[in-house]
Amino acid sequence: MSSHACVSRVRRAYGLKRVGHGGTLDPAVTGVLPIALGPATRLLPYLSGEKTYRGVIQLGLVTNTDDLAGDVIDRQPWPQLTPDAIETALDRFRGKILQTPPQVSAVHVNGQRAYKLARAGETIDLAARTVTIERLQLLAWTPEQGQLEVNVCCSAGTYIRSLARDLGAVLGCGGCLAQLRRTGALGFGLDQAVTLDQLEAEPPVPPMNPLEALSHLPQHQLESDHMQGWRCGRLQSCTENWSLDTPVVVLTPAGDLAGMARVCGSGQLQPRLVLDAAG
């Protein structure tokens, strides 16, 4: 199932048109797909962009999609590796690195998705870009199958298929992604995930309170006499000493979500998202 198809099922379950997801999940990948309902779709940019994955890399195999779903380009025997040798190779991918996306990816090329061009038979020259791999942990190495299992914590825009391809190149035998599960995205983990069966129960599972999803950000509660000014989009004063451009969750006097602001100067908040705007 594609991420778009999953969004369609959520729309039907909740009877809403306005539904959006926070980061495409490839059809072959399982795991966490954050979805926002109604006005909460406007909050997606304020969530943490870090993502975590658990995957299996197959050495000795190169495909045109960098995973097992693609056509095989090359096969080679994988070397006899020790865990220490694998760690040395993995260390090249820890921290900030330059990574070229897979040919079959959602990257835009001249107004089109790369995967559409690739499936039409085109070879695309995709530019490498900087991504950050915060954690890259070797979980298991199965030498008889040439497979290694890894745990990855990375920035948005990182492709684990590219990591598998590039690791295989470093080891001199080629590699591709055999299996992948996203264990965390935008601050949500598998333990919070709702299955499709649960989604289609009657009634559907209540969505999470947006304030819980935004709990990693600072908060500012409005006074009663400031509510009208906030609803009209006026600057708000605050006593907190936050850094310039810090996103801030703004609460109503009753403690409900009023919207989002950014610090625009000393003791000043500029409204960026007003949920109950006047007029």
Q: If DSSP states are collapsed to H, E and C, what string results for 173-216?
A: CCEEEEEEEEEEECCEEHHHCCCHHHHCCCCCCCCCCHHHHCCC
Q: In terms of domains, do 67 and 152 share one? A: yes
Any domain includes 279: no
Q: Residue 61 domain-assigned?
A: yes
Per-residue pLDDT at 163 exceeds 90: yes
Whether 68 and 173 map to the same domain: the answer is: yes
- 103 — pLDDT class (breaks 50, 70, 90): confident
Q: Say whether both 35 and 58 belong to one domain.
A: no
Residues 63-85 as b/e (b if ≥16 CB within 10 A, e otherwise) read bbbbbeebeeeeebebeebeeee
Q: Between helices 160-170 and 83-90, what is the axis angle to 10°?
A: 120
Average pLDDT over residues 248-269: 95
Q: What is the CATH number of the domain that holds 243?
A: 2.30.130.10
pLDDT at 119: 64
Q: Are residues 145 and 24 in the same domain?
A: no
Peptide bond into 203 cis (omega under 30): yes
Residues 36 and 57 in one domain: no
- Show the tokens assigned to 110: 């001249």
**Mean pLDDT, range 172-192, rounded to an integer:** 96
Let me know if residue 116 belongs to a domain.
yes
Integer Cα distance of 140 and 138 in angstroms: 6
Considering the domain boundaries, does residue 260 fall inside one? Answer: yes
Q: Based on the domain organization, do 257 and 234 belong to the same domain?
A: yes
**Does residue 130 fall inside a structural domain?**
yes
158-171 mean pLDDT: 96
Residue 149 lies in a domain: yes
Could you read off the pLDDT of 170-180 as tens digits, one per residue?
999 999 999 99
Q: Is the model's pLDDT at 1 over the cut of 60? A: yes
C-alpha to C-alpha distances, 223 to 49, 239, 252, nearest whole angstrom = 31, 13, 8
Give the total number of structural domains in the chain. 3
Cβ contacts of 18 within 8 Å, gap of 6 or more = 37, 38, 39, 41
Higher-confidence residue of 41 and 276: namely 41
Give the integer Cα–Cα distance in Å for 253 and 227.
8
Owning domain of residue 122? 51-185
Q: Are residues 180 and 120 in the same domain?
A: yes
The reply to whether 26 belongs to the active site is yes
13 found inside a domain: yes
Considering the domain architecture, whether residues 73 and 16 belong to the same structural domain is answered as no
For residue 95, how far is the Cα from the chain centroid?
A: 17
For residues 159 and 101, the answer to whether their CB atoms sit within 8 Å is yes
3-state secondary structure of 248: strand
pLDDT on residue 152: 98
Q: State the pLDDT confidence band at 98, using cuts at 50, 70 and 90.
A: very high
Whether residues 61 and 181 share a domain: the answer is yes
Instruction: Calculate the average pLDDT of the chain.
Output: 92
- One domain for residues 10 and 107: no
| 23 domain residue, yes or no | yes
Whether this prediction's pTM lies above 0.85 is answered by yes
Choose, from 26, 66, 67, 166, the residue flagged as catalytic: 26
Whether residues 123 and 241 share a domain: the answer is no
Is the model's pLDDT at 122 over the cut of 80? no
Contact of 22 with 44, CB cutoff 8 Å: yes
**139 and 82 assigned to the same domain:** yes
> How confident is the model over 13-18, as a mean pLDDT?
94
- For CA atoms 17, 18, 21, 24, give the dihedral sign: positive
